[in-house]
Amino acid sequence: MALGRALHFVFKIGDRKAAAKFYRDILGMKVLRHEEFEEGCKATCNGPYDGKWSKTMIGYGPEDNHFVCELTYNYGVSAYENGNDFLGMFIQSSEALTRAKEAGWPIHQEEEHDVLVAPDGYKFFITNAPQPTDRDPVQQVVLASSNLESSIHYWKDLAGLTMYGKTDNKATFGFDEDQAKLVLHDIGAPVNHAKAFGRIAFAVPGDSLLGTERKMKEASQNIITPYVSLDTPGKATVQVVIFGDPDGHEICFVGDEGFRELSQVDSMADKLLNEAMEKDKSDEWFAKKGGKASA
């Protein structure tokens, strides 16, 4: 595959206000784009749901040169069951730790790292060093593997990423030395995605997508969403194909050209998110009906 770049990881969130507080006020990320939708995504960006939902892209800078978070919120769903598939995102930011302490946000210790846990249970491992301004503070995303050799074959030989390092139970992948990396960690057990399962996205040249899809078909790999062009009203058309790796991790490859146009930072994004949260009365409505549903 031609050279690509890491884009984002999709997180399902149940409490949008609590999530916004964590990602903005604790991690210190900026809202890059916010969109509201009346029906489910054709590429199942919001999971297997057909109703109203929203997508908030949030990170330390534009997706052209930063790895960001996509927060998907399905109206009416208050929480999602977490599996063992997403193991954490590593971020260099002593400033985030300072904000957490000042706000009384719990700081946990795990594997000699400071860990901040989002309201929906996702772990963020914080490197206690000043947040860099000349590169992306997001260092890596760690996903579980049930068989490391199988994961290596898939990600290196079929998906086309470069392997930057390997230990007995971990392998590190990416498209470029300076980008955030994907780490597959062999947990010695089956990978359970439960209801909160996410998705990792990469941009590649659009004319490479059909070739990658063909390679996956020939290798009898899981193609979740065959090659499709997705239209966003008033914005760019983006080519997309979504695969599932041997452990069921969802991988979205998008055409780089269209996505660069689609992913431009919206100066109104923060305001749009705030307005959407203010207008969202689903909490009140569901409270009268006995509470929101958990997925």
Which pTM was predicted? 0.93
**Within 13 Å and on the Cβ side, how many CA atoms surround 183?**
20
Phi/psi at 47 (5° precision): 90, -170
Q: Domain 5-294 sits in which CATH superfamily? A: 2,3-Dihydroxybiphenyl 1,2-Dioxygenase, domain 1 (3.10.180.10)
The whole-angstrom separation of Cα 109 and Cα 189 is: 23
Q: Which residues have CB under 8 Å from 267's CB, separation 6+?
A: none
CA-to-CA distance for 241 and 234, rounded, in angstroms? 22
Judge whether 26 and 131 are in contact, CB under 8 Å.
no
pLDDT digits (tens, 9 = 90+) for 170-208: 999 999 999 999 999 999 999 999 999 999 999 999 999
Digit-coded pLDDT (tens) for 13-54:
999 999 999 999 999 999 999 999 887 777 677 777 778 899
Q: What is the pLDDT of residues 80-126, one digit of tens each?
A: 999 999 999 999 999 999 999 999 999 999 988 999 999 999 999 99
Residue ranges covered by each domain of the chain: 5-294
